[in-house]
Amino acid sequence: MSSSEEDDFDDLKRYFSKTEWIHLVKAEKVRYRSVRRNHLAMLAIGLNSPVPAFMRKGRPQMDNTAPLFEPSDSEEEDEWTPHLERYTPAPRSLRSPTRRPAASRVGTTRRPAASRVGTTRRPAASRVGTTRRPAASRVGTTGRPTAPHLDNAATSTEQEGEADTQAVPQREAQQPHPKPTASGLSKRQWLERRGQTQDLNYQRGKNLRDRTRVSYIEEEEPKDDHFLFCEDCCDFFIGKCELHGAPVFIPDTPAPQGAPDRARLTLPPGLEIKTSGIPGAGLGVFNQGDTVAVGTHYGPYEGENTEKDQAMESGYSWVIYKNRLLDDYIDAKRETYSNWMRYVNCARNEEEQNLVAFQYRGGILYRCCKPIAVGDELLVWYGEEYARDLGIVFDYIWDKKSSANVMDQEERISKPSERFTFNDEITHFHHWSLY
Ligand SMILES: C[S@@+](CC[C@H](N)C(=O)[O-])C[C@H]1O[C@@H](n2cnc3c(N)ncnc32)[C@H](O)[C@@H]1O
């Protein structure tokens, strides 16, 4: 990383020991920086955001001086971060386990990224699950109860984040004086700002019925597949990208499940299904409308839930990572129970790939990573092993230089032209093809 890039992370350094810092790779720093920014942004607008673990004072040192996200050979690997990509540039077949791909196609041992069935890798388009724990909760969630009836309330944001919600009212009732929250306001002040002081009428001994109803909404902890990726910033975000705003989602045309030819009926306006431009590939999906902009999202991929064995037999399946023990398999073989995305063929090289498959909130989405002009065929990457299993001939070039050293790789990853996503099982043409 150049020294000017290193400067970008100056604010972050103080949260880490020297040893921890030198073991963080760029992608991790970028992630921590986003987490911190999100956290601060939420505080700035008065939302209750727990302090991210890594920012907490006195947190235990990360005991590991080796890379924080050291890859493991175990199938049980629960978490996946971009960092791991540095260690496994070699055979990334979906069937060979260590890492967890983004959405992956079924069919191998590796779980496919938004992956086609058949792998153990976490699918890119659906590679679920990483080590990321973006402290910052989604903007818009209420976070822990800022119970309006607790007029003498207010424990620190952090305490609130750790305590049982049930315990909060009692604990808070015992606190005679408001303590400042992480936003610098006491809870009372915060509530006053929100014009809710009229609700502060609850005192001990008063009829509980007089209390304002409070709904305790658990803060949603972002999961690995809650993130979207901004193709311009080359960074992950939740909700909307700070610079480029809300992502574009193109919904399917509604069609009843079980309808004959349902998959075709779901085609969004502007797309067309016709014979693929790839010889022998059958049908494909083409753009017949305006150019599809980078960052446009389609999906989720629809099909029937199935077992791994069946999924591996199908040319229309993806793996959806659920947790360390469980994957779901979705098969769009039957047109009556699937959507148009089943017709999207596999790119044969980086040049023609214009969609990236990844897992988002338990489904597989395709994100446009290259403008799709009128007449162009939509092409996604299925994942190497799955593509192989299907007999797809592709330009297998990335492995030739897969032994590129880590620094080299990191340099390359930092180039904006090379995508670096959690879902990169599917996207590896983007950044692996160059090695
Ligand atoms: C998800 S389906 C795509 C839609 C399929 N073309 C159809 O007509 O239903 C996957 C199947 O399409 C074909 N296919 C997809 N990409 C291909 C490619 N690059 N080259 C050859 N065949 C391909 C293979 O037969 C594969 O099993």
pLDDT in tens, 36-81: 888 888 888 878 778 888 887 777 666 444 433 333 333 333 333 3
Q: What's the pLDDT at 89?
A: 28
What are residue 327's phi and psi, to 5 degrees? Answer: -125, 150
pLDDT at residue number 422: 34
Give the residue with greater pLDDT, 142 vs 307.
307
Q: Which helix (H) or strand (E) holds 32?
A: helix 26-44
Distance 357 CA to ligand 1 centre (A): 15
The string of pLDDT tens digits covering residues 172-191 is 333 343 333 334 444 455 44
| Best residue among 392, 396, 426 to mutate for probing ligand 1, ranked by most atoms within 8 Å of CB | 392
Kindly tell me if the per-residue pLDDT of 428 is higher than 90.
no
Is the CB–ligand 1 distance for residue 345 below 6 Å? yes
Q: What is the arrangement of strands in the sheet containing 363-368, beginning at the earlier edge strand?
A: 248-250, 296-298, 363-368, 355-360, 379-380, 345-346
Lowest mean pLDDT among 367-376, 396-405, 411-420: 411-420
The atom number, within ligand 1, closest to the CA of 344 reads: 3
Cβ of residue 280 lying under 6 Å from some atom of ligand 1:
yes
Residue 243 is predicted with a pLDDT of 94
Per-residue pLDDT, 384: 80
Which residues lie closer than 8 Å to 398 by C-beta, 6 or more apart?
89, 428, 429, 432, 433, 434, 435
Q: Which H helix or E strand runs over 327?
A: strand 326-331
Q: Indicate if ligand 1 lies below 6 Å from the C-beta of 318.
A: no
> Looking at this predicted complex, what is its ipTM?
1.00
| Residue of 273, 346, 429 to mutate, ligand 1, most atoms within 8 A of C-beta | 346
Mean pLDDT, range 76-96, rounded to an integer: 30
Q: How far is the CA of 356 from the centre of ligand 1 (A)?
A: 16
Residue 206 has pLDDT above 70, yes or no: no
Widest pairwise Cα distance in the chain: 79
Most confidently predicted of 85-89, 167-171, 306-310: 306-310
The per-residue pLDDT for 395 is 75
For ligand 1, say whether the CB of 404 is within 6 Å of any of its atoms: no
User: Is any ligand 1 atom within 6 A of the Cβ of residue 273?
Assistant: no
Using a 10 angstrom Cβ sphere, with 0-12 exposed, 13-18 middle and 19 or more buried, the burial of residue 243 is exposed
Which of the four pLDDT bands, split at 50, 70 and 90, describes residue 32?
Answer: confident
- CA proximity to 94, closest of 117, 66, 64: 117
